[in-house]
Amino acid sequence: MTDALAPTTATVPQERRIVTAVPGPRSVALHERRASVVARGVSSMLPVYIERAHGAILVDVDGNQFIDLGAGIGVTTIGHTDDAVIAAATVQLEHLTHSLFTITPYESYVQVAELLAAHTPGDFAKKTVLVNSGAEAVENGVKIARKYTGRNGVGVLDHAYHGRTNLTMAMNYKASPYNTGFGPFAGDVYRAPSSYPFHDGLNGADAAARTIAHLEKTVGATDLACLVVEPIQGEGGFMVPAEGYLPALQEWCTANGIVFIADEIQCGMARTGRYFASEHFGLVPDLMLSAKGIAGGLPLAGVTGRAEIMDAAQPGGLGGTFGGNPVSAAAAVAVFEQIESQGLLAEADRIESVLKPALLSLQKKYPIIGDVRGIGAMLAIELVTPGTHEPDAATVAAISAFAAQHGVLLLTAGTYGNVLRFLPSLAISDELLLDAIAVIDEAFAAR
């Protein structure tokens, strides 16, 4: 297992290929080693050990090739080992890996801040702080909103997922496995009903009235520092809110001095055919949280927003040792450049135009598929007992397992564990998408 890897630029044929059992013998051996040294709390959905990847294909240590429909949960959005990202990160590695922006700064951090200011919604002065992870971006967004407003309350929605740190655990909807046993949790977090059209049947105005009434009753607008929403919820199951829901929430926030924070850690960065999903809903968040897809697989996250809110934090109040690391920042600049020069926003639309009709025709064939939803390269199907809204998590697990055995990495999601989510990289070809759909069709037929 210590063999030197061939040059990383070696091409990976963009095709599915299974040559051993899944997992294969080398993965099984690694998994045994892992079991004695890696904490049990860090679980792996599919214990195949990945050796390399390119575009939309993952290659494991046994030489199996998987069509990647998850992109590391929406991280390698512009494709695995994108040539421009590798080149930019490599040059940066040779020049400077760390100096600490809060000690002696460097240009790439400033470039990322300029790019985020240019590409997040809103025609006003914006500023950014860069951090290491999505959860850290959420923490900082809340911290800044509290400082700006002088208030404590944090509003969140049902089915939300915001991370695994103490404050973000308190903000998650689903306790198990994220929060169970890890308390006590941060206080002053207030959760309200969301818009989940497949389950609640409410139009946007009614759903928003319900959310607002709940928050007014349980905390009161004058005690809320911020409302944090995922415009399209990720871990919760890719719910696209009813039309008008999110704008009504933003309007209420603005009218009441509540900082409106969009957590676009999963749905942002070109995933839905726009730089940020907020654009689909006409939202102009006060603060935008980005992470996952921003740096082509390197760890980077940011809070970007109205200059006057961001500047509420005192000098020295924001930062962290690794935040905005030079190599991650250089990679992020390359990601923005690739999105622009390769016209990648249109690729998300292409993926939707291939995948959505394919999923809708599967729904016609298999009434267990209760709902098909999503935008761009962020689509999902929700499985239920046919004719009802009863979640069917067991079938979701079976379909995902069948797909893996046949070389398709298909992630699950959903508060009830009954959602299959499709968030491939924008580099995936129509051919690979249709090949993956054929496998998933077989999986439904074989159940």
Ligand X SMILES: *Cc1c(COP(=O)(O)O)cnc(C)c1O
Name which of residues 220 to 249 contact ligand X (CB under 6 A): 230, 234-235
Is 261 a residue that touches ligand X (CB under 6 A)? no
Query: Which of 27, 77, 211, 266 touches ligand X by CB under 6 A?
Result: 266
Tell me which of 24, 141, 155, 163 binds ligand X, using CB under 6 A.
Answer: 163
Tell me if 286 sits within 8 A of 356, measured CB to CB: no
Which residues, listed in sequence order, are joined to residue 372 by a DSSP beta bridge? 381
Residue 87's SS3 state is helix
What's the closest the beta carbon of residue 159 comes to ligand X, in angstroms?
11
Contact stretch for ligand X (CB under 6 A) within 34-42, 60-68, 83-91, 127-135: 127-135
* Cβ nearer to ligand X, comparing 156 with 439: 156
**Number of Cβ atoms within 10 Å of the Cβ of 350:** 18
Q: Interface with ligand X includes 161 (CB under 6 A)? A: yes
291 counts as binding ligand X under rule CB under 6 A:
yes
Considering the rule CB under 6 A, would residue 133 count as an interface residue with ligand X? yes
Tell me the angle at which helices 326-341 and 107-119 cross, rounded to the nearest 10 degrees.
40
Among the listed residues 112, 154, 225, 265, the single contact to ligand X using CB under 6 A: 265
Stretch that binds ligand X, among 55-63, 204-212, 261-269, 332-340 (CB under 6 A): 261-269
| Helices and strands: H and E segment counts in the chain | 14, 15
Please identify, among the stretches 52-60, 82-90, 133-141, 252-260, the one whose residues bind ligand X according to the rule CB under 6 A. Answer: 133-141
The residue range among 116-124, 129-137, 180-188, 428-436 that interacts with ligand X, by the rule CB under 6 A, is 129-137
Q: Which CB sits closer to ligand X, 153 or 234?
A: 234
Nearest residue to ligand X on Cβ basis: 134
Beginning with the edge strand found earlier in the chain, give each strand of the sheet holding 189-192 in spatial order. Answer: 126-131, 301-306, 287-290, 259-263, 224-229, 153-157, 189-192
CA dihedral sign, ordered 91, 96, 102, 106:
negative
- Residues contacting ligand X: total by CB under 6 A: 15
User: Considering only 4-12, 21-29, 45-53, 131-139, which stretch makes contact with ligand X by CB under 6 A?
Assistant: 131-139
**Min CB(260)–ligand X separation in Å:** 15
* Sole residue written with tokens 């990322």: 112
Of 22, 53, 69, 135, the residue at the interface with ligand X (CB under 6 A) is 135
Q: Which is nearer to ligand X, 82 or 230 (CB)?
A: 230
In the set 62, 139, 263, 347, which binds ligand X (CB under 6 A)? Answer: 263
Q: Is 331 helix (H, G, I), strand (E, B) or coil?
A: helix
CB of 91 to ligand X, least distance (A): 25
How far apart are alpha carbons 423 and 270 in whole angstroms? 12
* Tokens matching residue 50: 């990945």
CB of 206 to ligand X, least distance (A): 25
Give one DSSP letter per residue of 382-436, joined into a string.
Answer: EEBSTTS--B-HHHHHHHHHHHHHTTEE-EEE-TTS-EEEE---TT--HHHHHHH
Give me the residue label for tokens 């080693």. Answer: 33
Q: Distance between CA atoms of 310 and 64, rounded to whole angstroms?
A: 47
The binding site for ligand X (CB under 6 A) comprises 133-135, 138, 161-163, 230, 234-235, 263, 265-266, 291-292
